[in-house]
Amino acid sequence: MISRPQIDKLTQAHLERMNIGQRYWGASLASIGDDSPHGKVIKRYLEQIDVMYARGVGLFLWGDNSRGKTYSACATLKAVRQKGYSVYCVMADQLRSIYIDRDMFDPEMTVVQRVEQVDVLLIEDLGKEYSGKGSGWAELCFENLLRKRTRELKPTFITTNLSPQGFLDRYERSAQAICLENTIACQVKGPDHRARIQAELKAMVQ
């Protein structure tokens, strides 16, 4: 097994290279807790991260808006990085543009190469790239990316408002098979976090 250098504390440089949104830099597993169903799944996943990585198994976190899917995924991604794996985060609605624009991730690698080759990739808000019209090219980008990563046993994390059945209804059967056979699906439940934040913001000006 490959020996991976552990990281005690992630720096701003680490977080920027991971492409995690600044809002989630402080995301922590402690805030998720082990008492929720998705918290238990995440804990067990991380306990077996070497096995999960070797098998190319990722996470499919789904649920209603504002329930903490992205927060949970980013906290998990940070923990994976601390265990020595390379990680990267991309918004689903950016997939089409990164394949067209071919922007550079660093002097030696394009962003496309990064999302295809990184140890663990997080795709945020799957389904938001869907327009309901046009060529379906964004969906094809997702399917091709997932296919390439699956072939190389590279785990992918996905957050989405789509239930597993909604995912089946939206995407081609080939994408369904690739995704749902290589990720652990878990519903993220809980209070509406944006409603709580809005109440806190209003309290600041009252």
Query: 50: number of CA atoms within 13 Å, CB side?
Result: 7
Classified by CATH at the fold level, domain 12-204 comes out as Rossmann fold (3.40.50)
DSSP one-letter string for 35-92? SSHHHHHHHHHHHTHHHHHHHT-EEEEE-STTSSHHHHHHHHHHHHHHTT--EEEEEG
User: Token pair of 105, please?
Assistant: 């991730």
**Residue 7 pLDDT class (50, 70, 90 cuts):** very high
pLDDT at 74 over 60: yes
d(C-alpha 121, C-alpha 94), whole Å: 14
Reply yes or no on whether the pLDDT at 193 is more than 90.
Answer: no
Per-residue model confidence (pLDDT) at position 188: 94
Domain edges within the chain: 12-204
Residue type, 5: P
Using the predicted structure, report yes or no on whether residue 128 has a pLDDT greater than 90. no
Nearest in space to 17 (alpha carbons), one of 148, 105, 147, 130: 105
